Structure 1
Amino acid sequence: MISPSSIPTGAVPFKLKQPLRLMTGGGSIELKYGVKMKVIRFPELSPTRAFTDEVIAIVNKHTGTHDVILGRDFLGAAGIVPNPATSLIQWDDLNCPWLPHDHFHGHNWTSAVRTAMEALAADPYLEYDSFSVQKGSKEILSSKYDQVSTRDAAQQQTHLPQRQRDQLADVLQHFTTLFSGKLGCYPHHKVHLELSENAKPFRCREYPIPHAHREVFKEELERLVKIGVLSRTTASKFLSPTFIVPKKDGRVRWVSDFRKLNSMITRKVYNLPRIQDILKRRSHYRYFTKLDISMQYYTFELDEASKDLCTIATPFGNFRYNRLPMGIKQSPDVAQQIMEDVLRDCPEVEVYIDDIGVFSNTWEEHLASLRKVLKILQDNNFTVNPLKCEWAVQETDWLGYWLTPTGIKPWKKKIDALLALQRPQSVTELRSFIGAVTFYRDMFPRRSHLLSPLTAQVGKRKLNWNDECEKSFKEIKSLLAKEAFLRYPDHNKPFHIYTDASDRQLGSVILQEGKPVAFFSRKLNSAQRNYTTGEKELLSIVETLKEYRTMLFGCRELHVYTDHKNLTFHNLQTQRVLRWRLFLEEYGPIFHYIKGNENTAADAFSRLTFSERQSDHPHGFKGPPEKPSDVLHPSFTEDTSDSPVEGYYSMVTDDPDLCDCFVHLPDQQDVPFQLDYKTIAEAQSRDAALQAEAQSQPMRIQKKLLAPGTEVFCHAQTIGGPWKIYLPTSLLRDTVRWYHLALGHCGISRLADTLRMHFHHPRLQQTCENEVSTCDPCQRLKNVGRGHGETASREASLLPWQDVAVDLIGPWTISVGNKKHTFSALTIIDMVTNLVEVIRIENKSAAHVAMHFENHWLSKYPRPLNVIHDQGGEFIGDDFQHRLRVHGINSKPITAKNPQANSVCERMHQAIGNTLRVLTTLQPPRGHSTAKQLVDTAIADTVYATRCTYSSVLKTTPGGLAFGRDMILNIPLITDLQQLQKRRQALIDQRLIAANTKRFSYDYAIGDKVLKLVYNPGKLEPRAKGPYSITRVHANGTLSIQLAPGVIERINMRRVKPYHE
């Protein structure tokens, strides 16, 4: 939103087609006008980067003290992330401090929106859909925990004969306490929550409760106090908020926000059982009962110390939990450990957190097992709802698999999204599909071969789908589906979920150890399409966890990757988002930001077209297929390692969707290329050019017996020289690529030399160069050699005091005893006389630097016309820029991370560092004050020495040129400024020629792809990011590149290198 007073001159607001009504804490605001904005810059972050897409700003006279307020959607599109944790606003690799709301008061600048965002983060009910509670809020009903009739529950098991239903009822009626619906308390252990060493007390204010829900909230609070879950308390060092939400049936769900507490709890991981081990033990059962423990966590009592940690704030006072609450990250481990201990003497039972499975081979054994298990649960004060249990069934879903008496079958819904995937309808959709396949590049061999019919279509304007494309598409789908279909999830290993959302559907992929475990896609309904981008992205995560709860709940680690950076922070915007966040807290996810162009796997499932598939069978089967089973690919009859699953083959042939998918599995090799003599000999026999060359040069190309019964053409460079295998052209590229990967992405010379030891081909060197130069990991991860493109020339200045360069030096660290003290300084240099001022500074804020610049330069020397500086926040910050504007000085920022452009300051920094190093060695400081004096002495000595030292370029000293007198003898000096300019220009040209001789001659063009070099990377960090497209080439040695849709940055040629595809 933009205030009317901030609309640029010449911009004409237009009337919106429909007025926008905004509900806020101050009431309703109707907005009727907008204005188009384009090429938006944020000087506090970078004067050389801009958001170029056209946006419509809503004209709002109610923006308060702010000229412009940027919304979450715009910030997300531009990639700008306000980070409350670090008090920084981040834009890719740039950042600036988060300033107080009144920082720009009186400066005629757009202020940061901190107060508005803090209000949103603190109050989840600030959104309009939370204020209209009288009209639009959903009614929440009181909770209902009544005793259930066990006989009614038994009679509902219609899959059993009447006699067995009666017998089951007789068993259940002996456990009235267990089925009473009343909360019990486990008597043998109290739960202790351990805090980390750096944990600090915290207090959160209570969440406001809508008036329509206040009575239900109070009733549920009183109920929890009555049954012993909560008890009233007074002040506490730890205080978390609480609110209520409706369940699916409209009943109340009590939710406490323990995210702050969870960040301080040390989780003691208790290993969950491996699913494959459970399924191996329980094959060929006949009866299976799945018991569901009601209010399981509330059954476990907390010790006194932990009760104080779990204190909550409500509008009706403070209360503390006496029982283990939901949402504590330690809860699944506690539940698994206690349930295993309780049922350790029941070999017929498997326990997985709150799911208890009872397996038996006969009806009599099953009834006996049920009596035993139910008695143990009742003796330990657990509660079971018989209507939520499954009694004596033969088939059901459990732990992500479908149980049958004849074997365990994979969960078909894991690949339903993949089976429903329709072929791409446009080149854009095709690119999305290829990006998803490339994401799994290490999963199957010959990927480029299988994709070749599809990649051939990418460069075309219109998609020309043919039989080869259809075959390639189905083969790749089959490969991905088979991998996920047959793979067992292991809850003791990390899960990785990649999620994405488009305007019409959600998509995600679940991986483990780099291999797909499940796919998910679902269309958005009409209401969800109106959600913000952030809400859609978060909904994609929530729906994935709901769909695969039995697979993911309680796992050791859960990593979630999203291309919406705001989701990696904990700021809240709406009650809906808060509710989802707390749902996610049960899983303890670790959020990671991934760039949109790297999130290719989930992107495909959120954007491609899917067929509508409905399944009547609870597991998704549709009956016998129309195709005969013998058409299924033979790999499905092979044994899978560490797998108890039986009947994969029959399961696939019994389902037409699966059969249709897996019949298209391609034949594969285990490795991209097999270096055996038989393969080489067969390829040589098909190489016409080799055969012709062998006939024309029989002395140099001959067949040699290299293996029993196998003769291979070999080549000798000279007659009588060593023989080397003549590589056929069909194997050349695969062989070079195999060696390149096997040798750890070695360089061109090593790769070619290694291959020449045993192989010959006329184009071997050229193929090695092409392979290495187009290898994506090599281009991004390896150290950069010679630069590409000649740097531009510049003209030397003639007039002193016209151009001044400023920079910061330091920090220097000086050790005094066991303490370390850091110091920094501001350097100011006149670009013609080389006169320098160096001032020690207390901090790097723009205001502090601006003050010293004015006090130590502007008040002493002629006012400069231009100030040259880097893009550090201390110089592009408003306080420094405001000081320049007041004095009529032009700001000349150099391109980001390009210190060569301010080389005069850089050389001065080296000189001061050398002097300081000598002084601290000869005169070690004894305290902070002496260390400060030592720095001041080193600065003064260096400045004086610099002013008095003869310069070969100036033909005099900087002090003599600036003041017209010798700095030591007080002798008048006269300097010819025009001759000085010529000498300086000659030196500039000489250095330019020397620099360009170390660079490759290269002409960048619009549309070329480049990699952006990472400035000062760590030892194991990538050396470049990208690729990015060039949008403009400038005459001064800079390029404009597109970092993201709508985001353009101007960058020096030294900071990029060409990207080869």
Structure 2
Amino acid sequence: MRDDLLGHYEVYVVSRELKGELGVALLDTGSQVSLVKESSLIKFSKEKDKNLRICGVTGKQMEIKGKVKLRIENTLEPLYQICYVVDSLPRNLDIILGQDWLDNAGYGFQKKTPVIIPPYSEQVIKCKTLEKGVRFIEHQILQPGLICAASLVNCETFEFPCLVMNLTDKPICMTADPKLEKPPTMLHRQNFKNQTNRIKRLQLLKENLRLDHITEGASDIRKICEEYVDIFKLPGDSLTATSAAEHTIPTPTIPKGKAITLRNYRLPEAQQQEIKRQVTQMLEEDIVTPSNSGWNFPLLVVPKKLDASGKRKWRICVDFRKLNEVTVGDSYPLPNIQDILDKLGRARYFTALDCASGYLQVPIAEEDRCKTAFSTADGHFEYKRMPFGLKSAPSTFQRMMNNVLSELIGNRCLVYMDDILIIGETLEEHNSKLRAVFEKLHESNLKIEPDKCEFLKEELSYLGHIVTAEGVKPDDKKIEAVVKFPIPQSQKDVKSFLGLAGYYRKFIADFSAIARPLTNLLKKENEWNWTEKEQTSFDLLKIKLTNTPLLQYPDFSKPFILTTDASGYAIGAILSQGKLGQDKPIAYASRTLNKAELNYATVEKELLAIVWACKHFRPYLLGRKFQIVTDHKGLTWIFNVKDPSSRLMRWKLLLEEYDYEIQYRAGHRNCNADSLSRYPIQCFNVNVEEITNERKQKIIAEMHNCPVGGHQGIQRTIERIKLYISWPGLEQDVIKYIRECKTCQLNKETRPNIKLPLTVTDTRNIPWEKVYLDVVGPLPTTETGMKYILTCQDNLSKYFIVIPMQNQTADEVTDVFVKNIILSYGIPTEIVTDQGSNFMSDVFKRICKLFQIEKVCTTAYHPESNGALERTHKTLTNYLRCFCDKKLNDWDEWLPFACFTYNTTPHSITKYTPYEVLFGRVANIPGKLQRQPQPIYNFDDIVLEIKQKMQTCQQLAKERLIKFKESQGQKVKSNSYEFKENDLALLRIENRQKLDPLWKGPYEIKKIQGSNAVIQELGKRRHQEVHINRLKPYFFHSISENADT
């Protein structure tokens, strides 16, 4: 029998010897004899042919129970066939009709002259039928991808031309005699349309399967997938419903006939089309249906991740929170992720399957569908399938998956929600398990996504971990969120960070001890105070996560080693296996001590570490003999104390259920538990207790400062040192040293976030009281000689004015300001400018004094002081880029258009156009759009109307500006690091060459004046005032200063 033909030649056979007189047969040209399954027969002869041996496709001999003569009545005249009786046949087959049947019935091609049909081509073959009375041959499927067209038979010669088409990408060889051809068997003629669809599905499956990475066994995986092509959701398929489960929504507190009805949320018009599209698609796939339900819950539209093309996608969902409040919950548990990972030992091959929109394959009980109703602009609908957001939906789905795969979970596959993991030590074992899982999914009508499935991998991402044959480690993509986590600004931020990092705490030795400064911040009695201690803890956890060891899988046939340790404020443990001293970690565990435990004696803390570790790793240790390794010698005899305290007695009783042996190992040899580094590579025979602090500093200086050290970052320096030596606390020592390295401080961008709280500027009551001035340029010289732009913006209305200039001298700027701004819009009360020489000149100051204008300057190199105008400049330059020609010498012609566009567009904060706030009406703009007809006023009425409208616009604009500034001020919180007088700081160099240092100094801070600081360079007398955002703290280190090379 040829396994690759299974399922491709299945037919129905009519025979009186079969139960029900009907059976499923497989036409198999690769089988020399015909077989029948024992359970499909009414009776048979137990006579056996002693000289006959039958082997299956694997070469394994099959036991013959007997034989039977079947009367097969499918053809015009009944045919008899001897079939050998066997225990079982593949899949749902009753009979295999082999070559003996085909020859006996006169079907199939005679094996003489071979005919080769090239890929994607057709060929005419002369054929002849031996069946009398046949006048017409219908189109037929000879084998997948090989189709025979319909043809008329010559009544006298029984010959006919047969057009055979090869739809595959490979040549197909047909053995036949062109002079005497017989038509393909009429017996297995099937629905042509269904077979053509199957061929298309096979082609789609091939395009969507990801098998390019497989170097061995790809063809076997492809064959299994093709055999079960119906379980894959391919492009164009509708999502079907499974028969394996049904979701119920019990609401006993809601009387019959009553319903919860909530008003819909208002959604943007831009999202209405997306809602309509998705609801229409769900109607087509029978996921939702029109409803008359009295229940109604509001609809939400939430953004999904950008797709590969950078396009935003959306997901519609229903807010079922009120329904969930009255729904009785289902407590069916989800699997423990650690239990799943523990079962991966010895596996070499991994396959991950992903259910296609798993929830939406589960139907909702008909009586509960009305409770899921929602409304759109196009009608009222209810779900027929289980959507996201329903209470107990995870329990329903997990129960279903466990029931479907109950016979396979544990030894053949592992399941967590819609993620199925198949493992195997060999290809044959893996493929056998894969086939078994596919069969169960097929029986339950569950679909999987081919492009999300990963087949036959030796390293795979599963449940946030990378699983390999050697062990498990965190998924780099998942820990990226931890590594890129910004410096926390509140207790909520700290909770979020510890929640993300804590998911991988089993990979980090002494996690609790490292995180202790952060966990202390969460205590109610502690005020928020982010200091150097918390920052070090925060940075060290990130470093640890990016340098986690590979944890091996537990082997329950081998003994475990439990290594414990206690410090003044935390306890820790490592579960490992292997020869003592060469053991490899399975998991790390640690926690901080509570207030009472902090008062324990040292020996009690060490014993507490053992008791807690045994309870924590109880699933591994109970019922097995294991070693406890400790660096506290007293623990080896403490249980022999005749009159132990009640606490020691309680702990002794707790440990009596375990079978263990305590092994003492000196502290300097027990670095596994009390060192932050699990596997330092030691090339020197150095006792870590002998490394003095001075020696440590010199080692770091040598590895960091010298030319081959290269002043690299923290992580690279740590890894470089570990190649040769390690000691407890190495990471913290390196972090402190590099932070204080003067060369790094002067030449690297890194600095703490010391941005001050946003200064909320005042907002004036009427337009043109306060304006902002600036000069943009130099720009490409225009044909009229213009090179600069004088810009002006009103503080309240945001009205924007631009005037081109040939140069930016003080005289030019002053002249343009007076003629184009003051004489057109009036004299402002206050002007804000930067410290440019043109605005600081005597001529400009005299003009301000003449018109009684208060002049205010921003801080040098701090454009944020004039932030509103700087943002408007970006809008201006974007406009000019879009409309200027390639030479960029006509920008002055586009300036008036850019200015008009800005002033007639509603401002994002005030919600009014600057034009309307200043002039009291909406501007008429060019184009086909016309405003609605306006009422006709007499002169007095229109003056009053404009005044009232201007007052309303200006008042609302002011309120909205103030509200926005206050909200921004609350968002931008200060980091806990604050400069104080006498602190040392470095000053950022603004105008520098590429290889110049980024910072200079150090400077001493003499005085803090709001957001500015008065600084003095060490050894010099000159003072200068700068904005604090240009500073970063300077850390002095004597070795760093002296050992730099």
TM-score (norm 1): 0.31
Q: Which has the higher contact order (CA 8 A, sep 6+)?
A: 1
